[in-house]
C-alpha cells in the first residue's frame, strides 16, 4: 500500500513539475550525439574600436551618448566573445550549446543575443541552446547586448536523424512508428510553441482560457511515467492511455496537453473551442472519440498535435469530404497504430 502511495505521489509530483514549467523541461544534453570540432577552440570576432563617426555637430547633440562605440580600455564593457567551439554537427531533434566567454571579466552587462541565420535548419534559444530542425547548414550568431559590434558564430550542420517516419512531410509517432530514444528536441519545437501562443491568444479573444499542461516529454521521462502506470494499473490498461517510451507523440516536441488532462475536460467550453478551432492554428485533435481501434488511444479531448496549417486544412477538408468530423491521421495515410508485440 505504501509503495503504491509513494508511486502515485511521484506521478503527481511529476505532473506538477510539468505543469509548472510549461513542459519545457531542459534535458541534459548527455544523450545527444553531437560532434564538436575542437581544433581551434576559440573563435573571436573583434572589437568596435572605430572612431565615432563625426557627424556634423548641431545643437541637437546635447546629452546623447555615442552608444555604438566602446573605447577598448573601458573595462566595464564587453570587447570580445569567445565560444568553446565554432563548428557543430547536430542531428534533427537534438541540441548542442557552446560555452560563451565574454571579456573582459569585469564587463558589467554580459547579456547574450542569439540568432540563427535559418530557423528552418536550426533554432537557437536565448541562452544558446541550438536545436537541429532539418538537414542543412546555417550559422548561429551570439552578439553582446552591451556592445553590438562584438559577436561570435558557430557554423551548424544538421544531419538526418535515422528512425523517424514521415508521411507527406508529417512526422508520425504512434504505436506502429516509434521514435529513436535519442530523438530529443529538449522542448516544444519553436514553430509549435509559436503556433500554440497564437492559439492561446485566439481563444482568449473568444473569452476562452487555454493553457499548456504538458508539452515535451523526453524518452527517459516517458519511460518513468509509463513504468509508474504499469505498476499501478497493469500494462494492458496502461497501454490504452499512456504511450510506451519511444512511442509518445510528446517526444516529438509537437504535441501538447491543454488544460485538464482527464476525461472531465471533454464537453467543457474550452474542449469544444479546441475541437472547433485548433486546426485554424495548425493543430489537430489527435485522439478523437470512437477511434481507439485506429489511433491506438482512447478519446483525449486535451491532446493536440501541431501539423502545420496546411496539413491541418487538408485533414479537415478530407474529414468534410467523407463526412466524418473525427477523421484521423492514421486513416488519412492508410496506416495503423499497433504495437508489434
Ligand atoms: Zn498528450
Find the CATH number of the domain harbouring 173: 3.30.1380.10
In angstroms, what is the span from residue 256 Cα to ligand 1's centroid? Answer: 6
| Same-domain pairing of 97 and 150 | yes
Mean pLDDT by 10 residues, the chain (341 residues): 43 37 36 40 42 41 55 88 96 92 94 94 93 93 95 95 91 95 90 96 98 96 95 93 93 97 97 97 98 95 97 97 97 95 75
Looking at the structure, do residues 148 and 195 belong to the same domain, yes or no?
no
The answer as to whether 339 is a domain residue is no
Distance from residue 104's CA to the centre of ligand 1 (Å): 47
Q: Are residues 115 and 198 in the same domain?
A: no
d(CA 208, CA 278): 13
- For the chain, how many structural domains are there in total? 2
- Domain span holding position 130: 32-47+76-159
At residue 25, the pLDDT reads 36
Question: What is the Å distance from ligand 1's center to 85 Cα?
Answer: 37
Residue 263 CA to ligand 1 center (angstroms) comes to 12
Domain match, 40 and 133 both: yes
Predicted local distance difference test score (pLDDT) of residue 67: 53
Q: How far is the CA of 243 from the centre of ligand 1 (A)?
A: 9
- Pair 318, 277 in one domain: yes
Strands lying side by side in the sheet with 130-132: 95-96, 130-132, 122-124
92 forms beta bridges with 132
Boundary-marking domain end, from 101, 133, 159 = 159
222 lies in a domain?
A: yes
Quick one: 285 and 298 in the same domain?
A: yes
Domain assignment present for residue 311? The answer is: yes
Distance CA 243, CA 245 (A): 6
Spatial neighbors of 47 by CB under 8 A, at least 6 apart, are 70, 72, 79, 80, 149, 150
- Per-residue model confidence (pLDDT) at position 106: 94
Considering the entire predicted model, what is its pTM? Answer: 0.69
pLDDT value of residue 161? 85
Same-domain check for residues 218 and 147: no
24 and 170 assigned to the same domain: yes
Amino acid at each position: 500500500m505504501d509503495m503504491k502511495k509513494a508511486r502515485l505521489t511521484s506521478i503527481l509530483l511529476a505532473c506538477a513539475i510539468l505543469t509548472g514549467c510549461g513542459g519545457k523541461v531542459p534535458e541534459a544534453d548527455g544523450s545527444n550525439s553531437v560532434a564538436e570540432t575542437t581544433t581551434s577552440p576559440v573563435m573571436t570576432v573583434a572589437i568596435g574600436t572605430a572612431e565615432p563617426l563625426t557627424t556634423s555637430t548641431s545643437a541637437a547633440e546635447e546629452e546623447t551618448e555615442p552608444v555604438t562605440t566602446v573605447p577598448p580600455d573601458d573595462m566595464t564593457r564587453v570587447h570580445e566573445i569567445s565560444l568553446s567551439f565554432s563548428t557543430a554537427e547536430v542531428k534533427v531533434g537534438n541540441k548542442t550549446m557552446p560555452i560563451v566567454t565574454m571579456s573582459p571579466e569585469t564587463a558589467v552587462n554580459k547579456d547574450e543575443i542569439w540568432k540563427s541565420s535559418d530557423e528552418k535548419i536550426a533554432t537557437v534559444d536565448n541562452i544558446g541552446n541550438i536545436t537541429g530542425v532539418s538537414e542543412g547548414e546555417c550559422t548561429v550568431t551570439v552578439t553582446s547586448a552591451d556592445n553590438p559590434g562584438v559577436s561570435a558564430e558557430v557554423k551548424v550542420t544538421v544531419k538526418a536523424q535515422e528512425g523517424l517516419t514521415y508521411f507527406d512531410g508529417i512526422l508520425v509517432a504512434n504505436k506502429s512508428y516509434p521514435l529513436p530514444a535519442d530523438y530529443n528536441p529538449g522542448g516544444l519545437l519553436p514553430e509549435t510553441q509559436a503556433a500554440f501562443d497564437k492559439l492561446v491568444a485566439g481563444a482568449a479573444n473568444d473569452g476562452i482560457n487555454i493553457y499548456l499542461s504538458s508539452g515535451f516529454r523526453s524518452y527517459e521521462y516517458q519511460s518513468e511515467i509509463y513504468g509508474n502506470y504499469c505498476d499501478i494499473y497493469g500494462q494492458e490498461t496502461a497501454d490504452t492511455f499512456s504511450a510506451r517510451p519511444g512511442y509518445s507523440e510528446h517526444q516529438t516536441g509537437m504535441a501538447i496537453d491543454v488544460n485538464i488532462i482527464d476525461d472531465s475536460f471533454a464537453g467543457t467550453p474550452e474542449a469544444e473551442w479546441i475541437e472547433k478551432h485548433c486546426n485554424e492554428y495548425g493543430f489537430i485533435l489527435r485522439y478523437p472519440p470512437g477511434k481507439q481501434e485506429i489511433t491506438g488511444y482512447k478519446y483525449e479531448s486535451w491532446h493536440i498535435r501541431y501539423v502545420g496549417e496546411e496539413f491541418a486544412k487538408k485533414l479537415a477538408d478530407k474529414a468534410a469530404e467523407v463526412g466524418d468530423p473525427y477523421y484521423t491521421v492514421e486513416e488519412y495515410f492508410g496506416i495503423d497504430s499497433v504495437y508489434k508485440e
